[in-house]
Amino acid sequence: MSAIAPQDAVGSRHAAILGLGVYRPSIVVPNADVVEAIDSSDEWIQQRSGIKQRRHAAPEESVQLMSVAAARDALEQAGIEARQVDAVIVATVTHLLQTPALAPAVATELGCEQPVAFDISAACAGFCHGVGLAADMVRSGSARHVLVIGVERLSDILNRQDRGTAFLFADGAGAVVIGPSETPGIGPTVWGSDGEQFDLIRQREDWRDVVASDDPVMPHLVMQGNAVFRWASFTMAKVGLQAIDRAGLTPDDLDCFVPHQANMRITDAMARAMKLPEGIKIARDVAEQGNTSAASIPLALHRMVEEGDARSGDLALFIAFGAGLAYAAQVVVVP
Ligand SMILES: CC(C)(COP(=O)(O)OP(=O)(O)OC[C@H]1O[C@@H](n2cnc3c(N)ncnc32)[C@H](O)[C@@H]1OP(=O)(O)O)[C@@H](O)C(=O)NCCC(=O)NCCS
């Protein structure tokens, strides 16, 4: 009987992040500009979420434009040419064309030569899903250099009158190049989902309901904020501790904590629950950028590097979580 030959591609023993790039869209929206429509105040928003302002994309700042800009910076830092990229993974929930995916168009605009290119839909956890997948691809030999991009234009699917979401969500892009390394640069990914809580963050209705409606409007994002808050603060701390343990480390070994920038109170609750060491640097990009879902972790890490809070070689814990519910965490070495 015939049999499939064993795979001859041999991967790199280790994978690492080789370069990081971001794109921050041009429109700065301070709390003062959102409070009237939701009968809120700057004080309430800052106290409940830590957000002072967010960034929204201008019409020409499409998900493709932001992805390409972030990816170019990541490639430059990595010292990798676009033609050396074997795979492009885009994590997003706001590429509003059902098909085709955004990744092939991004890859073509970058000048990649027919790489594997696909999108993943894991909402705010998407970027860390991409990092986990890319590291596995590099180690298994199915790709040598993988571009992972998290990009969102959540302002397109926001209901500006919704008190629970209008002040929270924002736009932007971040990208990393993942490739072979002589030492481990990406720890094991701890990931999973809880579909029983499917309703906690979701698009309000599906496209067929929208089309059938007499007064069709964009199906906005809706969220049960309190339940998400409780889940993220407590369950995600356990996931973070598992990721640290699977990397053969303890919390005291970490230099930086870069969680999904959902909300400053969730970040603080996770840090307390994991008993992170006193001196650890914690990403707080949400204050200036808002919650950018799949883009938030690379954006937050980039700010830390720019401000000197993260240095090349530091150990950073990523924890990403969101709609699905879906989550993924890993310890990485800062490029
Ligand atoms: C969204 C969030 C800030 C809302 O805070 P909350 O304390 O849960 O708000 P509640 O809906 O329980 O309402 C509490 C009070 O604030 C008021 N309130 C709600 N939204 C408000 C707003 N935008 N501005 C001012 N007051 C508001 C309510 O009317 C209520 O008032 P009352 O006590 O007089 O009845 C909070 O649930 C949260 O941070 N959730 C996590 C969301 C998140 O990060 N999601 C991203 C995951 S990817």
CA of 226 to the centre of ligand 1 (A): 7
CA of 302 to the centre of ligand 1 (A): 29
pLDDT at 10: 82
Residue of 48, 270, 293 to mutate, ligand 1, most atoms within 8 A of C-beta: 48
Model confidence at 6, pLDDT cuts 50, 70, 90, reads confident
Residue nearest to atom 48 of ligand 1 (CA): 322
Please say whether the beta carbons of 185 and 332 come within 8 A.
yes
What would the mean pLDDT of 1-27 be, rounded to a whole number? 91
Model confidence at 31, pLDDT cuts 50, 70, 90, reads very high
Model confidence at 5, pLDDT cuts 50, 70, 90, reads confident
pLDDT at 161: 95
Question: Which ligand 1 atom is at minimum distance from the Cα of 293?
Answer: 48
Fold match between domain 14-181 and domain 190-333: yes
Please say whether the beta carbons of 316 and 332 come within 8 A.
yes
296 lines ligand 1 (CB under 6 A): no
Handedness of CA 313, 122, 152, 155 (dihedral sign): negative
- Degrees, nearest 5: CA angle 330-334-335: 125
Please provide residue 237's backbone torsions phi and psi, each rounded to the nearest 5 degrees: -65, -40
pLDDT at 269: 95
pLDDT at 183: 96
pLDDT at 131: 98
* Fold of the domain spanning 190-333: Peroxisomal Thiolase; Chain A, domain 1 (3.40.47)
Model confidence at 9, pLDDT cuts 50, 70, 90, reads confident
Give me the residue spans of the domains in the chain. Answer: 14-181, 190-333
**Tens-place pLDDT, residues 238-280:** 999 999 999 999 999 999 999 999 999 999 999 999 999 999 9
Beta-carbon count within 10 A of 248 CB: 11
| Whole-number average pLDDT of the chain | 96
**Tens-place pLDDT, residues 49-64:** 999 999 999 999 999 9
Model confidence at 334, pLDDT cuts 50, 70, 90, reads very high
In percent, the amount of the chain with pLDDT more than 90 equals 93
The CATH H-level (homologous superfamily) assignment of domain 14-181 is Thiolase/Chalcone synthase (3.40.47.10)
Please give the model's pTM, rounded to 2 decimal places: 0.96
